[in-house]
Chains A and B, each alone.
Chain A
Amino acid sequence: MPHDGHFGILLILGIGVFGGMLGAWMFQRMRIPQVIGYIAIGLLIGETGLGIIGQVQLPELRPFSFLALAVIGFLVGGELEGKTFKQYGRQFMGIMLGEGLGAFFIVGALCGGLLWFITGNLPAALAGGLVFGAISSATDPASTIDVLWEYRSKGILTTGLISVVALDDALALTLYALGTSVAGLLVGESAGMYELIRTIGIELIGSGLLGVGVGAGLGFILQRSHSPERSLTLLVGSLLLVAGVCLSFHLDVILCAMAAGATLINTRPQLSKPLLKTLREFAGPIYVMFFVMVGARLQINAQPWWLWVLVGLYVVGRTAGKYGGTWVGARLSRSPAVLRNYIGLGLFAQGGVAVGLSMMAGQHLSNVQIMDGLDLGSVVVSAVTATTLLVQLLGPASVKYAITKTDELGRNVTEEDIVAGLSVGEVMNAEPVTLREEDLLTQVFAKISNHDQLVFPVVNPDGACTGVISLQSLKALFVEQDIWGWMIASDVMVPVRDVLRTDTPLSDGFIEMRRMEAEETILRDPDSLKPVGIFETRAARREVTRRLVQRQGVQ
């Protein structure tokens, strides 16, 4: 144990990242999205579990969380390409309004009704209902998108999910501003209404404007930077600035970074795509740590029994509201069936925005006593924390279910991904036509003209491959037909170079062939020396392309 009884921040970060990776690995083995593993490890090492990360350290880790939110926001924004909106903008907007308002009304009605039933205090119940409803409309972009990336999802559902989760934070903030204002009116705190709307208006508009400015500025500078390392440094620097400025001026980090990412991808698409790829690789440990801290922050304390009923109603109502609202929104905006039936399943995750709003509500509503010793603010904080835990564990699994059902899982692959998953043996010609050592050249030429192989293994009576004849090596013989009748394959074959094995990774195979400046080679069984296949780079590339098209499917 450290000398002051607390673990240092760096040690906590290290434990968090390693523990998170371990959790992800364990959950992935159970075919559960890795993000749930991160959060589970967070719960384990947080106050609820072993207490390694306590409430004392959490505030110290807050700046790190904001950087993570900036990185996540920027990456989410980078997914919002204008051309997608041109095609499906109306549908995505319809779905976003449907799911947000669906959750708002159903959660609001259920939670408000329960609060009224328990407390008999109608204004407080209405106020609580409005605040719960507003908070429930937000979807967590980070964990949702983490699942989409983890499973390399691609297609209209994936694009729709990214767009909706990116946009519905703004809806949630607006609903929260209106809801809390009305709630304030209902419980006699109307003085703050104008101020609150103004504050949230500034937060929304200010975040958006700052983000657009940062994105445009980044694009301008990046166009003049020709070094990828310098570009990444510049980008991370900008995101630190975004996080810092947003914190100082009470702006929304994730919205601001999202606007910056969206601005960059739409103004300099060629420039930003490789940069976003690099940032995504760089963001790995930040992601892990962020979600571990999300888990560590969730606290489940002793609460009155009806709070658990409230949590249940919230989760059920939010799930029904999001799914039903999505269905209605998709129907009204004439969205394709795949969006109408499945996008709702991908919108259950609840994260940073909801928790942040509940903290704000905790302050705003701390004076509203609903029972002896219990204020509405505390109820909101406790309930949202508990519901976040529940839906954060269910949400990512549900996203995975949706992309699996719509067959979008695994479609966002590149040629490199396909190559990385293959061995030489999987793409070689495993049934090569062979020549015998004693075949006359007349027979050799007859055989070659009937098959489109570029190289032919030459085998002895035992079937062992003793040499190779390639079209290239026969060039000198084309004009010397006088000798075709008495020269044999063995006279013109060249020795086999055993450079590849069937289990050689395909990427290594391509490198080796490039190094040899060869287009094709024979593979032999190491023991019997019998030819087991022919590796032809062009045929292998064709097979990779075929598999790529098959994996990506027709979208």
Chain B
Amino acid sequence: MSGPGAHLVDETLSPDRVFLTRERRKEDLLHFLVDQMGRSGDVDDMEALRSAIFMRENLMSTGIGLGVGVPHARISSVRRMVMAVAVNDQPLDDYESIDNRPVQLVFLVAGRPDQQSNYVRLLAVLSHIVKDDARRNALLSAASPDALYESLLSGV
């Protein structure tokens, strides 16, 4: 992977926060990812993160189109910017998105309020990755979490 901000994916993602899931509702998938994020030592207050993520979804769904969702929030109880990724076995119909396509690939991002610049850059990098059809399809077809992780980091 290359380009400005590409290193941010490496810095914020770790193999233990990459998942292949079998959820049926958006809400369940988000709870699952928040729970997993909460187990890492980078989130001091998991409930604060959960509340921030759902508050943001209440304002406007984070389905950004092309079957991708990017739930995200900035809160002070996160030690550093972190990310969790999930590919669900089926697209989630209740995950509203700007092109009305159901969401299957989800990046959950949590950052600190004072990390505005890197936060924006990471979201832009994710947007850039999923707009590439080949890369998006490679991510969606990953056979295991490790393969998904490798695919994200190394590109196609």
Contacts and interface: CB of A to CB of B under 8 A. Distances in A.
9 contacts: A476-B116, A480-B120, A480-B121, A480-B124, A482-B124, A483-B123, A487-B120, A491-B74, A494-B116
B88 interface: no
A490 interface: yes
B98 interface: yes
Interface of A: 437-438, 440, 473, 476-477, 480, 482-483, 485-488, 490-492, 494-495
B104 interface: no
A438 B60 contact: yes
A494 B59 CA distance: 17
Contact of A482 (B59, B72, B117, B131): B131
A486 B65 contact: yes
Interface string B54-80: 001001101111000010101000000
A156 B5 CA distance: 68
Chain A to chain B: the 10 pairs with minimum beta-carbon distance, closest first: A480-B124, A476-B117, A486-B64, A482-B127, A438-B59, A476-B120, A438-B60, A483-B127, A483-B124, A483-B123
Given A482-B131, A483-B120, A492-B120, 18 more contacts: A437-B59, A438-B60, A476-B116, A476-B117, A476-B121, A480-B121, A480-B123, A480-B124, A483-B64, A483-B124, A483-B127, A485-B98, A486-B64, A486-B70, A486-B98, A490-B56, A494-B116, A495-B113
A448 to B, nearest CB: 16
A482 B128 contact: yes
Contacts of A477: 120
Contacts of B128: 482
Contacts of A480: 120-121, 123-124
B95 to A, nearest CB: 13
A479 to B, nearest CB: 8
A488 B59 contact: yes
Nearest to A441: B120
Interface string B71-107: 0101000000000000000000000001000000000
Interface residues of B, number: 21
Contacts of A491: 56, 72, 74
A492 B121 CA distance: 12
A297 B63 CA distance: 91
B64 to A, nearest CB: 4
B152 to A, nearest CB: 18
A440 B61 CA distance: 12
A400 to B, nearest CB: 58
Contact of B62 (A473, A486, A494, A495): A486
A440 B62 CA distance: 11
Contacts of A486: 62-65, 70, 98, 127
A476 B64 CA distance: 20
A494 B113 contact: yes
A437 B70 CA distance: 18
B62 to A, nearest CB: 7
Nearest to A490: B59
Given A438-B60, A482-B128, A487 B123 contact: yes
A482 B122 CA distance: 12
B72 to A, nearest CB: 7
**Among A440, A485, A486, residue most surrounded by chain B Cβ atoms (within 10 Å):** A486
B116 A492 contact: yes
Nearest to B118: A476
A437 B63 CA distance: 17
A22 to B, nearest CB: 56
Interface in B11-31: none
A476 B125 CA distance: 13
Of A437, A480, A494, the most chain B CB neighbours within 10 A belong to A480
Contacts of B120: 476-477, 480, 483, 487, 492
Nearest to A482: B127
Nearest to A473: B116
A190 to B, nearest CB: 96
Contacts of A483: 64, 120, 123-124, 127
A172 to B, nearest CB: 74
Contacts of B59: 437-438, 488, 490
A368 to B, nearest CB: 93
B46 to A, nearest CB: 21
A321 B89 CA distance: 108
A488 B72 CA distance: 11
A270 to B, nearest CB: 47
Nearest to B70: A486
A410 to B, nearest CB: 48
B121 A488 contact: no
A482 B62 CA distance: 14
* Residue among A438, A440, A491, A492 with the highest chain B CB neighbour number at 10 A: A491
A473 B74 CA distance: 14
Nearest to B97: A486
A494 B120 CA distance: 13
Contacts of A488: 59-60
A476 B113 CA distance: 14
A438 B60 CA distance: 7
